[in-house]
């Protein structure tokens, strides 16, 4: 099993704690509703492209940093939920090992 899924809001909360600013203050700086920031911090809301752009600008990290954290979070959740079942599905390589079915296209 892979690493534990960690919502990017946890990282955001840590950053705000270190800066000693509130979610409401960050929201004012980013010109977004406070509930957007608090919901992200609480893991109740996914980061959107708009939020990633704003956070990347504010923290000087770039939007990709924030979207990559969101992507990793979602992939890890999917792995936890469906990973074992998905690993039992056939692969392209498995399909190429099978003999061709008769009745296919003729030359």
Instruction: Compute CA 26 distance to the chain's CA centroid, rounded to the nearest angstrom.
Output: 21
- Note the pLDDT tens digit of each residue in 66-79: 999 999 999 999 99
- Note the pLDDT tens digit of each residue in 97-106: 877 666 555 5
Distance, in Å, from the CA atom of 92 to the CA atom of 107, rounded to the nearest integer, reads 25
Instruction: Tell me the whole-structure pTM to 2 decimals.
Output: 0.81
- Note the pLDDT tens digit of each residue in 10-30: 999 999 999 999 999 999 999
């Amino acid at each position: 099993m892979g690493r534990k899924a960690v919502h990017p809001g946890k990282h955001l909360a840590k950053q705000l704690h270190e800066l000693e600013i509130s979610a409401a203050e960050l929201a004012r700086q980013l010109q977004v509703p406070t509930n957007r920031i608090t919901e992200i911090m609480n893991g109740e809301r996914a980061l959107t492209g708009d939020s990633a752009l704003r956070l990347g600008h504010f923290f000087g990290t770039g939007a990709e940093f924030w979207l990559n954290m969101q992507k990793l979070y979602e992939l890890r959740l999917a792995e936890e939920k469906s990973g074992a079942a998905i690993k039992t599905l056939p692969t392209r390589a498995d399909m190429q090992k099978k003999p061709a079915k008769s009745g296919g296209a003729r030359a």
